[in-house]
Structure 1
Amino acid sequence: MKKFMICAITLFLLLSTSVFGDTPPGNVQATFKKMYPKANGIAWSQDDGYYCANFVMNGFTKNVWFNVRGQWVMTQTDLVSLDRLSPAVYNAFVSGPYASWVVDNVTMVEFPKWQAIIVIKVG
């Protein structure tokens, strides 16, 4: 019984450390709240020195990256299918060489100083 308690406490501490270890600093959280004031269900993680907020908004899964200074780096939005694209992008794809391929996923990646990139994964 004593071994079980020690294992349970150790497991709890490990889980607590990993959950709270990814909590971003206040400047990152402040920038996030300015950009997405109505977001909820946010899961924070770290990826190569960036803080990443993962959440669902308006039916789309979003992943938002911030640097340690609290500056927005990029947002990845999972659009899932072609019907969520702008007409110009949709028409360019359906008239292109991959139009007959099966679309696996559609993602939009936005940056602060660059034009958004649309990634259409086909198989």
Structure 2
Amino acid sequence: EINITRSGAIFTRTAGEVSQAGKIGLVTFKELKEKLPGLSRILERAGGGNLRYRGNDVLPAEGTVHQGFIEQSTVNIVEEMAAMIQCYRAFEANMQAIRAQDSALQRAVTQVGRVSPR
């Protein structure tokens, strides 16, 4: 059995004995919203696909952990699907324009220098 407290502490129960197995780190990056355009300046790779904060401005988070809850998406699926379809249509239109340009260039290359009888 695994229990997670609101502060992020992870407890396991094995053979009736409860022990702390770890803690989920809840932190807030100071002024992250202002720094979003330059994330590479404030975050660095920490191995295993993880990132870590470069500075010492890591503050304790104000959030809590809730065990047994399912996190809901913050994405509106209908809007995102419509945006994806719009992007796909724009992609298809651009591909068609590229094919037309490629065809015109191909004709120009093969017909340049060709002497036509009069």
Q: TM-score, normalised by structure 2?
A: 0.24
Q: TM-score, normalised by structure 1?
A: 0.23
Q: Which protein has the bigger helix share?
A: 2
Q: Which protein has the bigger strand share?
A: 1
